[in-house]
Amino acid sequence: MAVIEAGRIRPSRDSWWNNPAVRGIAYQVILIVAILAFGGWIANNTVTNLRERGIASGFGFLGQRAGFDMTTLLPVTSDSTYGEMLVAGLVDTIVVSFFAIVLATILGLIVGIARLSSNWLVRTIATIYVEVLRNIPPLLVILFWYLAVIAAFPSIREAIQLGPDFSLSNRGIFMPRPVFGANFHYVLIAFVISLIVAWAVRRWAHARHMATGKTFHSGWLALGIVVVVTLAVYFMTGDPLTFEVPVKTRFNINGGWTVSPEFASLLFALGVYTASFIAEIVRSGILAVSHGQTEAARALGLKQGQLTRLVVLPQALRVIIPPLSSEYLNITKNSSLAVAIGYADLVSVGNNVLNPTGQSIEVVLIWMLFYLGISVVISFAMNVFNARIALTER
Amino acid sequence: MTDMQSQQDVFFVRREIVPSSKPPMRVHGPIAWMRTNLFGSVGDAILTLVGLVIVIAVVVPLVQWAFINATWNGDNREACAANTVGACWAFVKANMGQFIYGRYPDPERWRVNLFFVLLAAGIIPMTIPSLPYKGWNLVYLFIVFPLVSGFLLVGGLFGLPPVETPLWGGLFLTLVVSYVGIAVSLPLGVILALGRRSNLPGIRVVCVTIIEVGRGVPLITVLFFAGILLPLFLPNGVNFDKLIRALFGVALFASCYMAEVIRGGLQAVPRGQYEGAKALGLGYWRMTRLIILPQAISIVIPGIVNTCIGLFKDTSLVYIISIFELLSTVRNSFTDPTWATSTTPASGLVFAAVVFWVFCFGMSRYSAFVERRMQIGLRH
């Protein structure tokens, strides 16, 4: 009864268009042909449009005279080329991102640890900080610093004196500028050499501790080596560092170092905004270290400082590093909001370049390549660091 | 018998329960609470004092500025000009209509109000887990609501006078941009995430490129792309509305982030589910639709909500191609000579911050609620 005649059961999918491999290739070919056709259509439209508007494509415009002024960290004038302008903007982006990353990391670390404090008041303040800052747009934070905080500082005449030559006003922060004398490079060389010596001493002490169990408190010695050697060379070469003090004139302050209101607002806004995210990352990283680890470390007799440094932090860092690196990327990308307050970063400079030249495709391409490049560099650096601290398993 | 009696004489047996004495002050009551939570050790006490200094230095001036010294009523800048130490809420009050509706014409504002109601009617039942008909709710949110509100807001049909998009603005436009961003980025994100996990290298490479480029560049450059380059890419004469272009940029950008969130969900679905679905004879699309996606998406709802929060905050950037959502409407009103005073910017920005905060905080609470609820489910 249940005999199946040979030949009656056939594979149901015997036709070639039901073969998954054939279908897979077909889907890919269709997608790629569609993308190529779409790209060709766009390229064709673009060429037609550009010809009609009389815009030459290509990067030749980078060598032309810019004809507009921007206040950047690198000295550029209206006689500089578009290319130099863009490089200056790029440097500004990197500088403000770097300082904002430093500020956000320090602040985020403090707030993140404060959220875990046993002290109710400290914990509550940190929680409120995080919940408020995390839930408002970064652009609003930047505008708030720029329009509501720094603009509300007193004018230059009634500037707040923070120190003898440090003053705070609605034109920015003024501070003395270091002027390096002729012999300053000797001091730098001495500093680097003393750092290497100090590092070697620490290494030797650690190796001996591991080999013999004898401790040697190399920390103070290492610090002493660096300070004494650097200071000795500094005084031997005859005081090669002087400060140019900002001088108050009737309407302005000349000389010295000025932190512009735009730079300061962008830096503080990115710093305090991102710190709220970093605080949460730090908190979850510390919570991820199991309680047994701290208990075991206590049972071994480690002091609180050693416990944090040797047991908790290395394990917490493993959880912290990957999301932290994406926060660093976010700071770099959010620094493009500078265009809202006129800090001359890559995007604001590019905006000023694409208006007179009409080279919008090239400028947008430069932006995208730069930010993608930065993303790759930061992820690469963080991956290397992550690989170093990752758990080494058998 | 006598033995028992003599024993009773010797031993004292208490027959009634002693009334309980009060716990010592050291473990109970406000003083004990302060001892453990504020003054546990010398270091703790110092921290508490530092905290108190911070609170006094921040909260007291803030309360003074926002409430005690604030100007609440007035018709123009004269009400606030003299008051340099307090907020100018009169300015916010006077411009409230603009902050909510932008330049949407006065007699037509009921349409925007109806849009708010329709939106709330779709979202509120969606967020309450015990309510039934979630499928119909999704159909309403993703198909009925956009069509109805599109006709409602643009007008030109059924006797509604048309309102051009340059007149749209304020909080209303912020909601429109975020809604469209979310509604487009969810399906697009699913497609990109599936493509990224596809076995077909051609499809995978295309999706990975789109996702990584979108996530690697700032939204501002994507908006410039949508605002300036898109007209160049289209044939001459074809020109989309500026708002549509901005929505295109925002949705594309959000899709890349959504794709990564959903990919996390796809990876979290156990292998056995894929294998089980295949063993039942389901093809790729039916397996994805019936088995994988429902599980993957419900795992990453908190992540999706977090992406929505990010998107909601990012809508403030569309001002770059001169579309005036809430923040840029507020910012534009600072230059209005009727109200320009030294405290106007701070008041306006604080108002905008509160509005953004309420929405984002609400969403983050919802995300935390879903997360807790899922953990309860996993405990079984």
- Whether residue B172 lies within 8 A of chain A, CB to CB, comes out as no
B18 touches chain A (CB under 8 A): no
Please state whether beta strands A241-244 and A247-248 pair in parallel, antiparallel, or not at all (unpaired): unpaired
CB A106 within 8 A of CB A274: no
A45-54, A132-141, A293-302: which has the minimum mean pLDDT? A45-54
> Residue A152 and residue B346: Cβ atoms within 8 Å?
yes
The pLDDT value recorded for residue B258 is: 92
What confidence score (pLDDT) does residue A295 get?
A: 92
Nearest CA of chain B to the CA of A281: how many Å? 15
Q: Read off the pLDDT of residues A250-260 as tens digits, 9 standing for 90 and up.
A: 666 666 677 88
Answer yes or no: do A136 and B313 touch at CB < 8 A: yes
Residue B30 confidence (pLDDT): 77
In a domain, B15, yes or no: yes
pLDDT band of A290, cuts 50, 70, 90: confident
Does residue B98 share a domain with residue B178? yes
Best mutation target among B58, B220, B331 (most A Cβ atoms within 10 Å) is B220
Say if B66 is an interface residue toward chain A (CB within 8 Å): no
Closest listed residue to residue B148, CA positions, set B170, B129, B121: B121
CB contact under 8 A, A42 and B361: no
- B42 interface with A at CB cutoff 8 Å: no
B232 belongs to a structural domain: yes
Residue A56 has pLDDT above 90, yes or no: no
**What contacts A107, CB < 8 A, 6 or more positions away?**
A271, A272, A275, A278, A279
pLDDT at A251: 63
Residue A243 CA, distance from chain mean position: 29
Question: Residue B37 is part of which domain span?
Answer: 2-68
CA distance A366 to chain B (A): 10
Q: Which residues of B touch A45 (CB under 8 A)?
A: 232-236
Phi, psi of B225 (to 5 degrees): -55, -50
Q: Are A323 and A330 in contact (CB under 8 A)?
A: no
pLDDT tier at A103 (50, 70, 90 boundaries)? very high
Is the model's pLDDT at A311 over the cut of 50?
Answer: yes
User: What does the pLDDT look like over A140-171, one tens digit per residue?
Assistant: 999 988 888 887 777 777 777 777 777 777 77
Rg (CA), chain B: 30
Tell me whether residues A144 and B353 touch, CB distance under 8 A.
Answer: yes
In a domain, B333, yes or no: yes
Q: Is residue B227 part of a domain?
A: yes
Q: How far is A246 from chain B (nearest CA, A)?
A: 28
φ/ψ (deg, to 5) at A172 = 125, -170
Question: Is the predicted pLDDT of residue A321 greater than 70, yes or no?
Answer: yes
Q: Are residues B50 and B197 in the same domain?
A: no
Do B360 and A35 count as a contact with CB atoms less than 8 A apart? no
B258/B344 same-domain check: yes
Q: How close are the terminal C-alpha atoms of chain A, in Å?
A: 59
CA separation for the pair A58, B217 (Å, rounded): 22
Q: Is B55 domain-assigned?
A: yes
Residue B319 sits in the same domain as residue B187: yes
| CB contact (8 A) between residue A137 and residue B346 | no
Contact B48 A368 (CB under 8 A): no
A49 with B218: Cβ contact below 8 A: no
Quote the pLDDT of residue A240: 67
Residues A300 and A248: their CA atoms lie apart, in Å, by 61
Residues A96, A259: Cα–Cα separation, whole Å: 11
In this prediction, residue A11 has a pLDDT band, given cuts at 50, 70 and 90, of low
Mutate to test the interface with A, among B52, B349, B350, B365 (most CBs of A within 10 A): B349
- Number of independent structural domains in chain B: 2
B20 part of a folded domain: yes
Residue B92: predicted pLDDT: 84
Q: Do A137 and B313 touch (CB under 8 A)?
A: yes
pLDDT of residue A33: 92
Which of A176-185, A186-195, B102-111, B195-204 has the lowest average pLDDT? A176-185
Confidence (pLDDT) at A1: 43
Q: Are residues B241 and B300 in the same domain?
A: yes
Contact list in B for residue A139 (CB cut-off 8 A) is 316-317, 327
Across B252-360, the runs of DSSP E, i.e. the strands, are none
* Per-residue CA distances from A263 to A267, A271, A273, A327 (Å): 6, 12, 15, 20
Is the residue at B61 inside a domain? yes
pLDDT at position B22 is: 78
Q: B55 contacts in A (CB within 8 Å)?
A: 121, 125
Do B55 and B95 share a structural domain? no
Q: Mapping DSSP to helix (H, G, I), strand (E, B) and coil, where does residue B309 land?
A: helix
Closest by Cα among A370, A264, A104, A59 to B220? A370
Six token digits for residue A368 = 């995208």
Task: State how far the Cα of B193 lies from the Cα of B255, in Å rounded to an integer.
Answer: 9
Closest-CA residue in chain B for A143?
Answer: B349
Interface membership of B310 toward A (CB under 8 Å): no
Alpha helices (H) along B11-144: 29-37, 42-63, 78-81, 89-101, 109-127, 134-139
Q: Which residue has the tokens 């199991």?
A: A290
Judge if B167 and B64 occupy the same domain: no
Interface contact flag, A364 B216, Cβ < 8 Å: no
pLDDT reported for residue B2: 54
Give yes or no: residues B61 and B170 share one domain: no
Tell me which residue of B196, B134, A137 sits closest to B188, measured CA to CA: B196
Q: List, run by run, the mean pLDDT of 10-residue segments along chain B (380 residues).
A: 58 83 72 78 85 89 83 78 80 85 84 89 86 85 87 79 82 92 92 89 89 88 86 77 88 92 88 91 89 87 89 89 87 82 85 93 90 68
Distance CA A82, CA A62 (A): 5
Q: Is there a contact between B356 and A135 if contact means CB atoms under 8 Å apart?
A: yes
Same-domain status, B213 and B264? yes
Q: Does B345 contact A42 at a Cβ distance shorter than 8 Å?
A: no
Query: What's the whole-model pTM score?
Result: 0.84
Residues B10 and B93 in one domain: no
3-state secondary structure of A256: coil
- What is the pLDDT at residue B380? 45
CB distance A125–B317 less than 8 Å? no
CATH number at B302 reads 1.10.3720.10
Same domain, B57 and B168: no
In a domain, B150, yes or no: no
CB pairs under 8 A between A and B: 153
Confirm if A191 and A230 have CB atoms less than 8 A apart: yes
The answer to whether residues B7 and B100 belong to one domain is no
